Chains A and B, each alone.
Chain A
Amino acid sequence: MHDLTLILMSKLNYWIYILLMMIGLYAMIVKNNLVKKIIGMNILQTAVILFFISIGAKNKATIPIIEHAHGPGNHAVSAAHYINPLPHVLMLTAIVVAVATLGVALALIIKLHQQYRTLEEDEILAQLKNE
């Protein structure tokens, strides 16, 4: 029992990442409303960003800015004292892409609502079948 709690607690970020990703996937597949589907897509994207940030995090490390970098003399930099900044830079791009996809999806939803007067997926499919 103690081993199980140790396993669960030491990698807690990754378990929460799996849980959030499955919540987002569930909302994208099962929910009938289109806005709910978009919220699920955003939750899934944020879960992937959480996974990448968790890869770069270290215990007892500080943010990746070298102290006294412009002073005299050469300093040896120990990588264990700084958090890995490469996943942060990759995920900055992912956040911007997430907002761009959100804007396009909401614009498409507004056009769909102007044409079919509803946001439910089954009602739109029924109107398409009647045409």
Chain B
Amino acid sequence: MMWLIQLIILIIVVVTALAAITVKDLLGAAILFGAYSFMMCLLWAIMGAVDVAFTEASVGAGISTVLFVAAVFRTSRRTKD
């Protein structure tokens, strides 16, 4: 049962990583990167690394997304690729 959840989360991780680097909107890329970080945090909680999981949930998915959104609002939102 646990390996099925792990397989689904691994697939979602790869899909969100690919989407974050291909989407044309930088704000959307920042939010997709936050989703990627949170899926990675769930994966580590399943693998038993709970301390790494809650550090990633607060620092990786929280503060990184806030920093990205703040930087995108201070600069431009459009991109060519």
Contact = CB atoms under 8 A, between A and B. Distances in A.
Contacts of B80: 32-33, 120
Interface residues of A, number: 47
Residues of B in contact with A, size category:
35 or more
Contact residues of B: prevailing secondary structure = helix
A20 B33 CA distance: 13
B10 A109 contact: no
Contact residues of A: prevailing secondary structure = helix
A96 B59 contact: yes
Contacts of B75: 35, 109-110, 113, 119
B13 to A, nearest CB: 7
B21 A23 contact: yes
Contacts of B79: 32-33, 35-36, 119-120
B21 A35 contact: no
A53 B47 contact: yes
A124 interface: no
A57 B48 CA distance: 7
Interface in B46-68: 47-52, 55-56, 59-60, 63-64, 67-68
Interface of B: 6-7, 10, 13-14, 17-18, 20-21, 26, 29-30, 33, 36-37, 40, 43-44, 47-52, 55-56, 59-60, 63-64, 67-68, 70-72, 74-76, 79-81
30 contacts: A12-B6, A13-B10, A16-B10, A16-B13, A23-B17, A23-B18, A32-B81, A33-B80, A35-B30, A36-B21, A42-B64, A43-B20, A43-B33, A46-B37, A46-B40, A50-B44, A53-B52, A83-B47, A83-B48, A88-B51, A92-B51, A92-B52, A95-B52, A95-B55, A95-B59, A102-B64, A106-B70, A113-B75, A119-B75, A119-B79
